[in-house]
């Protein structure tokens, strides 16, 4: 069983703890347990845990508060809270703190196993998306869509840097296309016949990230049944792209610095030094200079990474590129379905006027969802998310938002065949939020079978 499948049960009631351990284990997962938060913390610090099922009321603390601690220190770990005392305020706070869901013991017992599978599916999808390996498929800067001065300035600098072997630091908000740029840098380098390997450092716990980057020997830790190559070895001869480099633990920063300086690393559980020949491109949405001043990021690593830095503009800074980007994404999505759909004038005006905090990635997601909702050949304002529609709404239009939202949820659920986890992803809301919306609009009893 892979180490990423480990599930931790935290409950002070021994009988229930054993019962949960047994029924979850029967689903094929590797299960361990703890009777209090102190023991749970010890397990989290010594072995990778993918999912926690945690009681709310424990002898040494509150599970709702524990959620916040877990998501701060182990952001890749999901947590489901179980309580014998249904409390709406606790449930809302738990979701705000980052819980995957909050359910009542007894009343919701039949939901536990489906929820476990939904959480583990989310974790698997996150891990799969967090590591990408492309071999012999170099891309060009033609994949970067835009005609604005800001994006052309970034492209011109990147083209000058690409043929060199210099380390590059890409700066910009989340969703500005840093991986697209990194891939284009690789595609225009002398390493483009070798692998381009990308990893999102924020998607893993410290322990899992070390194994992903540097690999391990069989027996290095519980669950490590065989040798595993790390990404620094997989990328040998090619390029390793480290997204969200600011999330890297201070100890791992030292190991990465050794790779940068002399191409050396040591696998977990090994005593021998291994060698690799890679180019590193890193990206962050953080102010690393400030992180250095605060002692959160190594100064020597920062200067080693920051040989060349490229600032990628937010979508708000290049609104003129939105029509081209929107049309590009819609054409690509529509072609996969054999459809011919365009964006109407009013809808395009709303897209151009929107703030786009999630940048290009958010725009891409909005167009993918709009295509699902449109029955005809033109996307209208009604096919866009409410936040975008509301920009140009008059006060009297707000009255219909609840009915529009209900219809929107119904349509997404029909599209997913009643799969609530998939529907929540398309709606870009949490699963618990979707459940509340279903109850609020009386949709729970009328879901597609």
Q: What gap in Å lies between CA 140 and CA 132, rounded to an integer?
A: 18
Question: How much is the pLDDT for 237?
Answer: 95
Distance CA 232, CA 263 (A): 9
- E strands in 172-210: 196-200
φ, ψ (nearest 5 deg) of residue 26: -65, -20
Question: C-alpha 355: how far from its chain's center?
Answer: 21
Per-residue pLDDT at 1 = 34
pLDDT of residue 313: 95
Q: What is the 3-state secondary structure (H, E, C) of 73-138?
A: HCCCCEEEEEECCCCHHHHHHHHHHCCCEEEECCCCHHHHHHHHHHHHHHHHHHHHHHEEEECCCC
Whole-angstrom distance, CA of residue 95 vs CA of residue 429:
11
Name the DSSP letter for residue 282. Answer: E
- The predicted structure's pLDDT at residue 3: 45
**Mean pLDDT (10-residue bins), the chain, 449 residues:** 70 90 87 94 86 92 91 85 75 81 72 85 66 63 85 94 96 93 93 92 82 85 75 95 94 96 93 95 95 95 96 93 93 90 94 93 92 91 88 47 72 78 76 78 66
At residue 279, the 3 state secondary structure works out as strand
Collect all residues with Cβ–Cβ distance below 8 Å to 264 and sequence separation of at least 6. Answer: 258, 273, 274, 275, 276
Query: Against a cut of 0.85, is the pTM above it?
Result: no
CA distance readout (Å), 246 to 173, 264, 283, 289: 13, 21, 8, 11
HSE, CB side, 13 Å, CA atoms: give it for residue 382.
14
Cβ neighbours, 10 Å, residue 214? 24
Task: Write the CB contacts of 265 (distance below 8 Å, at least 6 apart in sequence).
Answer: 214, 230, 232, 233, 255, 258, 259, 273, 274, 276
Q: What is the DSSP letter of 245?
A: G
Kindly report the number of other CB atoms within 10 A of residue 416's CB atom. Answer: 19
DSSP string of 375-404, one letter each residue: -SSEE-GGGS-HHHHGGG--GGGGGGHHHH
| Res 167: pLDDT | 97
Beta strands in 201-259 (DSSP E): 215-216, 228-229, 239-243
- Structural contact between residues 363 and 351, judged by C-beta atoms closer than 8 angstroms: yes
DSSP code per residue over 44-60: HHHS--SEEEEESEETT
What's the CA gap between 122 and 113, in Å, rounded? 14
CA-closest candidate to residue 127, choices 211, 25, 237: 211
Domains and CATH numbers, the chain: 3-128 (3.40.50.2300), 135-313 (3.40.50.300), 316-446 (1.10.8.60)
């Amino acid at each position: 069983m892979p180490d990423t499948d480990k599930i931790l049960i935290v409950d002070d009631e021994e009988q229930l703890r054993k019962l949960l351990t047994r029924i979850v284990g029967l689903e094929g997962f590797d299960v361990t347990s703890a009777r209090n938060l102190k023991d749970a913390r010890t397990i989290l610090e010594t072995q990778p845990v993918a999912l926690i099922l945690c009681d709310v009321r424990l002898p040494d603390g509150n599970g709702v508060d524990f959620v916040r601690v877990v998501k701060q220190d182990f952001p890749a770990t999901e947590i489901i809270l179980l309580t014998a005392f249904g409390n709406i305020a606790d449930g809302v706070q738990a979701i705000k703190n980052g819980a995957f869901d909050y359910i009542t013991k007894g009343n919701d017992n039949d939901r536990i196993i489906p929820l476990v599978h939904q959480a583990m599916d989310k974790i698997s999808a996150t891990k799969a998306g967090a590591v990408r390996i492309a071999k012999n498929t170099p891309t060009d800067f033609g994949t970067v869509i835009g005609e604005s001065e800001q994006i052309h300035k970034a492209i011109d600098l990147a083209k000058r840097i690409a043929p060199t072997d210099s380390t590059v630091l890409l700066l910009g908000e989340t969703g500005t296309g840093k991986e697209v740029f990194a891939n284009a840098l690789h595609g225009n380098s002398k390493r483009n016949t070798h692998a381009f390997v990308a990893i999102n450092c924020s998607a893993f716990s410290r322990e899992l990230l070390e194994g992903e980057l540097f690999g391990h020997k069989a027996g290095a830790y519980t669950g490590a049944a065989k040798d595993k190559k790390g990404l620094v070895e997989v990328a040998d001869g090619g390029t390793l792209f480290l997204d969200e480099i600011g999330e890297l633990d201070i100890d791992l920063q030292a190991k990465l610095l050794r790779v940068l300086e002399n191409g050396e690393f040591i696998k977990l559980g090994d005593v021998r030094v291994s060698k690799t020949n890679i180019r590193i491109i890193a990206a962050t949405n953080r102010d690393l200079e400030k992180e250095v001043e605060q002692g959160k990021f190594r100064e020597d690593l920062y200067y080693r990474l920051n040989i060349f830095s490229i600032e990628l503009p937010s979508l708000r800074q290049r609104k003129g590129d939105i029509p081209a980007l929107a049309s590009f994404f819609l054409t690509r999505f529509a072609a996969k379905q054999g459809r011919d759909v365009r964006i109407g004038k009013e809808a395009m005006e709303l897209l151009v006027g929107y703030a786009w905090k999630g940048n290009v990635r958010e725009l891409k997601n909005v167009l993918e969802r709009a295509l699902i909702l449109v029955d005809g050949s033109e996307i209208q304002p009604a096919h866009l998310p409410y936040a975008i529609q509301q920009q140009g709404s008059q006060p009297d239009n707000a009255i219909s938002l609840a009915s529009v939202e209900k219809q929107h949820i119904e349509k997404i659920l029909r599209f997913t065949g009643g799969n609530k986890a998939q529907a929540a992803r398309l709606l870009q809301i949490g699963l618990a939020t979707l459940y509340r919306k279903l109850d609020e609009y009386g949709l729970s009893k009328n879901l597609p079978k």
